[in-house]
């Protein structure tokens, strides 16, 4: 099924997704969408964005162990990761 709708882009690069398309894709206020570019054009797909931990479960175990004891304080996560890698 091909549905063609048009919309104008604002000076900030924003485009309102036409109501007919929003209904078809079940998009509501706060919905996330992903954009893809192919040789045939641009794809718009509903998607879910979820938070992902920067640490693995084994790293979290090491962090919890370190946090339960008095120890070193790190200013940024990369220093903590480097320290964890050396444990």
Class of domain 1-50: mainly beta
Per-residue pLDDT of 36-47, as tens digits, reads 999 989 999 999
Whole-angstrom distance, CA of residue 21 vs CA of residue 26: 8
Per-residue pLDDT of 14-55, as tens digits, reads 999 999 999 999 999 999 999 999 998 999 999 998 888 889
Element housing 22 (H / E): helix 19-24
Whole-angstrom distance, CA of residue 9 vs CA of residue 13: 6
- Listed in order, the ranges of the chain carrying CATH 2.10.260.10 are 1-50
- Does residue 54 or residue 12 have the better pLDDT? 12
Query: Rounded to two decimals, what is the model's pTM?
Result: 0.53
Whole-angstrom distance, CA of residue 8 vs CA of residue 16: 8
């Amino acid at each position: 099924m091909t549905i063609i709708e048009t919309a104008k882009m604002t000076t900030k690069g924003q485009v309102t997704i036409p109501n007919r398309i929003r209904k078809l894709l079940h998009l509501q206020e706060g919905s996330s969408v992903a954009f893809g570019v192919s040789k045939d054009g641009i794809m718009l797909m509903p998607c879910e964005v979820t938070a992902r931990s920067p640490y693995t479960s084994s790293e979290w175990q090491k962090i919890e162990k370190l946090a339960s004891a008095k120890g070193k304080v790190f200013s940024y996560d990369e220093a903590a990761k480097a320290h964890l890698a050396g444990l």
